[in-house]
Amino acid sequence: MFRLTIHTAFAAAHNLINYQGDCENLHGHNWKVEVSITTNELDKAGLGIDFKILKRETNDLLKTLDHKYLNELAPFADVSPSSENIARYLYHELTKIFGSEKVKVEMVTVWESDFAAASYYE
């Protein structure tokens, strides 16, 4: 089994819902995103998946979040746009693209600072 991982980032504003503290106020982060996929097969070039494809698809998805107020976006209409919920949303959206017998999204980690991250996997 092979695990391939990319790192990317986006910036956005949000406020946590039902949170008793400063983060209930509007604020922003420069989120770092780590996406890991697994595969047990390599192609003729010896690749599980081209990193360029994984980066492109992930960055295309992140463009829908970048420089936005996350609370106003449909994926977060009914849930607080916490790092945990962002990681889950990205995982499910990427699974629609990379969910096959050959390639599977293993985990998505969203870092809201250099010292705090949330991961989602199934």
Q: In the prediction, which pLDDT does 99 show?
A: 81
Task: Give the pLDDT of residue 100.
Answer: 84
pLDDT at site 101: 82
Handedness of CA 18, 22, 25, 26 (dihedral sign): negative
Show the CA angle centred on residue 30, arms to residues 24 and 31, nearest 5°.
85
CB count, 10 Å around CB of 10? Answer: 22
User: What pLDDT score does 86 carry?
Assistant: 98
Q: What span, in angstroms and rounded, lies between the C-alpha atoms of 10 and 68?
A: 10
Q: Which of 33, 30, 31 is nearest to 6 (CA)?
A: 33
Which residues of the chain are under the pLDDT cut of 50? none
β 103-113/2-14 pair status: unpaired
Cα gap 2→20, rounded to integer Å: 42
